[in-house]
Amino acid sequence: MAEGPSAAEAAPLHRGLPEEIIVWEILVRLPPKSLLRCRAVCPAWRRATSTRDFLLAHHARQPSLPLLRGYHLSGDGVSLDVIPFDHRAGLAAVDQLQSVARLGYSYFGLEASCDGLLVLNGRYRNLGYSICNLATRQHARLEELDHFALLGMYPHGPTGEYRLLLGKSLSYRTLAPDVFYIFTLGSGQLPRRISCSNVGGMSYESSSILCHGSLHWLLEQHEGASNMIKVFNTTTESFRQMRAPAVLGRTKLFEIDGMLGVSSFNAAAATIDIWMTQTDESEAWAFKYRVELPVAELTEQFGKFHVQQSVVVPSWDGKLLVMVKIEDWLHQLDINGKLVTSFHRRSLHPTELRLKQTLVPHTFFPTLEGYVVNDSPFISQLLQCGAS
């Protein structure tokens, strides 16, 4: 006769609270590191938090945070700190910059982020592309992509697959892709070429923004012509284009609450103009904000005012924040141009990527070349990277 459950397994998760409250109201809200530790408390917690339904709900509740990259020089070379900028209210400055991983191999770059997955570029060391999940510490090489340029990453709605959009140039004289390919993670197949038209003007240096199931690239402005945005529909896997606001200066795309935005930095006026689509499905643009950078305040406090990078990103509460890098300082401003906080750290850079961590398992990882867990290129995880 089969034995009944042990006393530990039959006991409720917590004598004072219903199981449903503990699992679906408390554990589901924990960050990945804390959740993994909770699994060691008792077998019941481990079982309850390992189901796919729970992991999907847990991922949905994780904050989507702006991603920073920090380079760390040591006797072993240069490593890369991957740092979500946790700017939520109530956190001390030192707690806002918590690295989720330190990656080895000099000059790793962050290329794409989607559903907790990161694509890394190690071409400076002839390492090519790789993909990792920082929460589960899974990593694999993408050797099939060694002769391609990565243009974007997306989930393919009809199949649930994760796919990469790639480009190649037919001529060494151009910095723009001429032909396009799609690579499906875990398919075991080489990138397949797709038929496309009306894709001129793209650059390998353009960053893609995923919004409403499409990848978007802001094309460089040409004299006498309005800016244009190239759009790749990730369901039909076809290109089209849309108009962007005709603005001057360094322009970048961002997405917030399902709407597309354009920021334009005017160095001479020390201002950042922000335009937004008027509705989540609209291609009509409206001017929203002009952020006047506090030149006098920054110069008085930090001695210099020479903006090297400016990035507009959505905050965790649906507002916009501005990140400005000047020398070894990274400044956070609000939409009114007020200085919120500053971080002094060499080689700390804002990116246009966001990270929403996930513990959801992906079946494609074990099928990829050089698949490892908790191994190279991970040097360490969950470091505290405060101001220095």
Which CATH number goes with the domain that contains 295? 2.120.10.80
pLDDT at 17: 79
Query: Do the beta carbons of residue 55 and residue 136 sit within 8 Å?
Result: no
Across the range 247-276, mean pLDDT stands at 90
Q: Tens digits of per-residue pLDDT, 57-114?
A: 999 999 999 999 998 877 667 888 999 998 877 777 778 888 888 888 655 789 999 9
Quick one: 42 and 71 in the same domain?
no
Do 136 and 269 share a domain, yes or no? yes
The answer on 22 and 138 residing in a single domain is no
> Does residue 1 fall inside a structural domain?
no
Q: Cα-flanking dihedrals φ and ψ of residue 126, to 5°? A: 60, 35
Q: Is residue 2 part of a domain?
A: no
**CA-based nearest residue to 380, from 46, 32, 143, 98:** 98
Tell me the pLDDT tens digit for each residue of 303-350. 878 899 999 988 877 789 899 999 899 999 999 999 999 999 888 999
Residues 97 and 211 in one domain: yes
At 180, the pLDDT band (50, 70, 90 cuts) reads very high
Is there a single domain that holds both residue 50 and residue 67?
no
**Mean pLDDT (whole number) for 226-249:** 87
Residue 38 is part of which domain span?
A: 9-56
pLDDT mean over 362-381: 86
Looking at the structure, tell me whether residues 165 and 24 fall in a common domain.
no
User: Are 50 and 179 members of one domain?
Assistant: no
Residue 370 included in any domain = yes
Whether residues 23 and 166 share a domain: the answer is no
Over residues 9-33, the mean pLDDT reads 78
- Give the pLDDT of residue 207: 79
Do 205 and 277 lie in a common domain? yes
Is residue 181 pLDDT above 70, yes or no? yes
Is residue 37 domain-resident? yes
Q: Give the model's pLDDT for residue 223.
A: 52
Q: Are residues 22 and 101 in the same domain?
A: no
* 169 in any annotated domain: yes
Please, what is the average pLDDT of the chain?
85
Residues 6+ apart with CB under 8 A from 167: 148, 149, 151, 177, 178, 179, 180, 181, 202, 204
Choose one of 56, 73, 93: the last residue of a domain: 56
Partnered with residue 241 across adjacent β-strands are 230
Structurally, the chain folds into a number of domains equal to 2
Q: Is the pLDDT of residue 2 over 50?
A: no
Q: Do 76 and 31 reside in the same domain of the chain? A: no
Q: Is 388 part of any domain?
A: no
Q: Count helices and strands (H / E) in the chain.
A: 7, 26
315-345 exposure pattern, b = at least 16 Cβ within 10 A, e = fewer? beeeebbbbbbbeebbbbbebebeeeebbeb
Pick 318 or 208 by higher pLDDT.
208
Domain termination residue (choose one: 18, 38, 56): 56
> Does residue 124 belong to any structural domain of this protein?
yes
Burial 357-383 (b: 16+ CB within 10 A, else e): bbbbebebbeebeeeeeeeebbbebeb
Contact 76, 51 (CB under 8 A): no
Q: Please give the model's pTM, rounded to 2 decimal places.
A: 0.87
Lowest mean pLDDT among 26-30, 34-38, 303-307, 337-341: 303-307
Termini Cα distance of the chain: 64
CA atoms within 13 A on the CB side of 31: 14
Query: Where does a domain end: 39, 56, 73?
Result: 56
Q: Is the pLDDT of residue 376 over 90?
A: no
pLDDT at 1: 40
Same domain, 119 and 150: yes
